[in-house]
Structure 1
Amino acid sequence: MRVLLCPDKFAGTLSAPEVAAAVADGWRTVTDGDDLLIRPLADGGPGFVEVLAEALGGRRVPVSTVDPLGRPAAGEILLTADATAYLESAQACGLHLLSAAERDPKTTTSYGLGLLVAAAVESGARTVVIGLGGSGTNDAGAGMLAALGVTPLDPGGAALPYGGAALAAVDALDGAPRLRGVRLVAATDVDNPLLGLHGASNVFGPQKGADRGDVLLLDAALERFAAVLERDLAGCPTGLGTLPGGGAAGGIGAALLALGGTCESGIGLVTRATRLDAALDTADLVVTGEGSFDHQSLRGKVVAGVAGAARDRGVPCVVVAGQVSTGRREAASAGVTDAYSLVEHFGGEESGGLDAALSRPADGLRELGARLARQWSR
């Protein structure tokens, strides 16, 4: 039997390669006669660089950067032979870098991402691909732009403080982006615009610590910033606030579009790099997964892309996840044949299953891998 293992990360616990390896280890305790193809995946969020490094090779270069509060953080860029640099916003802007008490999108900054982009430019890359996802910022990339040489100013000509709220007072820009003609690509599967009811502040702000008042303040501040970008930044497209993908990563997508960049599907990019389609064509069973299989999973996430591709080929697709809250009918309509939860495997929340899933995810996935082999292997 030919089994394709292509999970996303389990956020906060295991990387995508670790998830795939644990399931494979469990499967092999039951039978070693099956052909297990391992293709870890990512959609632009945390793990994007690691997955691409495994698929493409290249050189991983460590870069010193800062987190959303300006504290030192470790980042890296992946440099490939075709002069392309890959990096991920979550290494500098990630929500996981902040404690619950520190989450405040009014003050967090994307400045650290600008340092990563600058390092990629200085490395000689001709194309810079930025994975967007998992961010704890909502500053429309203002911090990133500042790190690249474009400083937002208040009416008195002073540089604005970092954070989305400060953009309510933006009046002008100073400087020009130091990009040396590189091509910028935003890798994201979020098509939300920067502004409005479906924009960055309204949809993603609450996940980052914003209350209703904060959301209204931030949306207005980003609207003002978008107008200044259109007026003062050469080459910025008109209607910036409404462009698809502009709301990705707290509006970093809009900043990249303002710099002349383009948006590309993160899962599509990774799928091509890992040659997933060829693996799907020959698979008898597909196993994918992520930390939480919920309503968001079926809207542009790894699981949705994999399950849909498996369904189109008539191949069963099984999901393994830390928690499962998606309804069976909704999952089936997306191409998911069955879903397995670590929390339920460990006895359910009332029996300590959630704690076990968070503290021993690899053990649980190995056990689920063995269970899958017993149920699915020929």
Structure 2
Amino acid sequence: MRVLLCPDKFAGTLPAQEVATAVADGWREVTDGDELLIRPLADGGPGFVAVLAEALGGRRIPVSTVDPLGRPAAGEFLLTPDGSTAYLESAQACGLHLLTVEERDPKATTSYGLGLLIAAAVESGARTVVIGLGGSATNDAGAGMLTALGATPLDEAGLALPYGGAALAAAVALDGTPRLRGVRLVAATDVDNPLLGLHGASSVYGPQKGASRADVLLLDAALERFAGVLERDLPGCPAQLGLQPGGGAAGGLGAAVLALGGHCESGIGLVTGAIGLDAALDECDLVITGEGSFDHQSLRGKVVAGVAGAARDRGVPCVVVAGRVSTGRRESASAGVTDAYSLVEHFGGEERGGVEAAMGRPAEGLRELGARLARQWSR
């Protein structure tokens, strides 16, 4: 039997490669007669660079950057073997995982560190820079990123604005020109939310980053003001920036890329193309994918949705393993998911400490689920 293992990361516990390896180890405990093909995935969020590095080769170049509160952080970008394209991920500098729960405040967090990563990639000589967007703690529409690239938002007095989304309520101008040396920017994201409004960055994702209802209203108004400044002061910025699909990705980083003349591409599509997922799907008998939380958002452009849909189109069963499963069976089935398994339930459910076990012993649980899947599915 040919089994394709192509999960996303389990956020906060295991990278995608380790998720796939743990399931494969469990499967092999039951039978070693099946062919297991491991193809870890990412959709632009954490793990984007690591997955592409394994598929494309090239050099992973370390960069000193800062986190969403301006503290030193370690980042990197992947430079392809021919040096033409650099891949990086915003989460290394803007990631929610870099902050404690108490530190989360999208009114104050900055994307400045992402600007440092982009600047380093530009200086490497790459002609295209692909930025994986996802998992961000910021809501500043890329204002910090632009500052690091040489274009600083100013207030009425001509002073540079403080970092964070809230300060953009006082933005009146942009000072300087982004130093991009003609590099083409691409935002890798599967979020199609606009920057502003009910479905915008602040309203949809702000609460996940620590924003209260009052914060959401303040931030949305601040981003609307800043979008107007970008439209006026950045040559090539599209009209009605606040309504562009994908502009709301990663706290408005998508809008900043669009304002700089870049465009959005599907993160999962980019990764699946790089690793040859379509060819692997054509030849397999079973697909196993997964992520940390399989919920209603999973079926809106994330890794699981892309994999399950492609498997369904080929008539191949698709099984999801996840830390937690909260998606209904009917909804899952319509997306192409044959069955879903939860680590929390595997460890006894929430009442019996399943959450703590799933977070503390994910590799153990995934090995056990892998063995269970082999007993159920292997011929």
Q: Distance between the aligned counterparts of 2:53 and 2:18, measured in 1?
A: 14
* 4+ residue runs over 3 A deviation: none
Query: 2:360 aligns to what?
Result: 359
Query: 1:285 aligns to what?
Result: 286
Q: For 1:112, give the aligned amino acid.
A: G
Task: Please give the residue correspondences for 1:15-26 in structure 2 after superposition, counting only pairs within 5 Å.
Answer: 15-26=15-26
Q: Distance between the aligned counterparts of 2:45 and 2:141, measured in 1?
A: 17
Q: Distance between the aligned counterparts of 1:274 and 1:161, measured in 2?
A: 41
Q: Distance between the aligned counterparts of 1:5 and 1:101, measured in 2?
A: 36
Task: Please give the residue correspondences for 1:105-254 in structure 2 after superposition, counting only pairs within 5 Å.
Answer: 105-254=106-255
Normalised by the size of structure 2, how large is the TM-score? 0.99
Per-residue Cα deviation, 1:134-161 (whole angstroms, up to 9, x for no partner)? 0000000000000000000000000000
Per-residue deviation at 1:349?
1.0
Query: 1:97 aligns to what?
Result: 98
Query: 1:40 aligns to what?
Result: 40
Query: 1:327 aligns to what?
Result: 328
Q: Secondary structure at the match of 1:138?
A: coil
Gaps of 5+ in 2: none
Q: Distance between the aligned counterparts of 1:233 and 1:265, measured in 2?
A: 25
Per-residue deviation at 1:19?
0.3
Query: 2:306 aligns to what?
Result: 305
Q: For 1:361, give the aligned amino acid.
A: P
Query: 1:263 aligns to what?
Result: 264
Per-residue deviation at 1:81?
2.0
Q: Distance between the aligned counterparts of 2:233 and 2:289, measured in 1?
A: 45
Q: Distance between the aligned counterparts of 2:194 and 2:185, measured in 1?
A: 18
CA RMSD of aligned residues (A): 0.5
Q: Distance between the aligned counterparts of 1:353 and 1:342, measured in 2?
A: 7
Q: For 1:268, give the aligned amino acid.
A: G
Q: Distance between the aligned counterparts of 1:81 and 1:362, measured in 2?
A: 33
Q: Distance between the aligned counterparts of 2:131 and 2:303, measured in 1?
A: 17
Query: 1:59 aligns to what?
Result: 59
Q: Secondary structure at the match of 1:41?
A: coil
Per-residue Cα deviation, 1:20-68 (whole angstroms, up to 9, x for no partner)? 0000111011111101010000000010001101111110011110000
Query: 1:5 aligns to what?
Result: 5
Per-residue deviation at 1:353?
1.0
Q: For 1:48, give the aligned amino acid.
A: F
Query: 2:80 aligns to what?
Result: 80
Q: Distance between the aligned counterparts of 1:312 and 1:226, measured in 2?
A: 40
Q: Secondary structure at the match of 2:76?
A: strand
Q: Distance between the aligned counterparts of 1:342 and 1:224, measured in 2?
A: 44
Per-residue deviation at 1:234?
1.2
Per-residue deviation at 1:235?
1.2
Gaps of 5+ in 1: none
Q: Secondary structure at the match of 1:130?
A: strand
Q: For 1:320, give the aligned amino acid.
A: V
Q: For 1:220, give the aligned amino acid.
A: A
Q: Secondary structure at the match of 1:310?
A: helix
Q: Distance between the aligned counterparts of 2:354 and 2:226, measured in 1?
A: 46
Q: Distance between the aligned counterparts of 1:342 and 1:38, measured in 2?
A: 20
Is structure 2 residue 276 aligned with structure 1 residue 275? Answer: yes
Per-residue Cα deviation, 1:300-330 (whole angstroms, up to 9, x for no partner)? 1000000000000000000000011111111
Figure out how many residues of one structure are paired with residues of the other and give that number. 378
Q: Secondary structure at the match of 2:337?
A: coil
Q: Distance between the aligned counterparts of 1:76 and 1:360, measured in 2?
A: 28
Per-residue deviation at 1:182?
0.5
Q: Distance between the aligned counterparts of 1:296 and 1:66, measured in 2?
A: 29
Q: Distance between the aligned counterparts of 1:367 and 1:200, measured in 2?
A: 38
Q: Distance between the aligned counterparts of 1:172 and 1:322, measured in 2?
A: 45
Q: Secondary structure at the match of 1:135?
A: coil
Q: Distance between the aligned counterparts of 1:351 and 1:81, measured in 2?
A: 50
Per-residue deviation at 1:346?
0.8
Per-residue Cα deviation, 1:147-183 (whole angstroms, up to 9, x for no partner)? 0000000000000000000000001110001000011
Q: For 1:327, give the aligned amino acid.
A: G
Query: 1:372 aligns to what?
Result: 373
Q: Secondary structure at the match of 2:75?
A: strand
Per-residue deviation at 1:250?
0.2
Per-residue Cα deviation, 1:177-212 (whole angstroms, up to 9, x for no partner)? 100001100000000000111110011101101111
Q: Distance between the aligned counterparts of 1:353 and 1:218, measured in 2?
A: 37
Per-residue Cα deviation, 1:320-365 (whole angstroms, up to 9, x for no partner)? 0001111111100100000011111111111111111100000000
Normalised by the size of structure 1, how large is the TM-score? 0.99
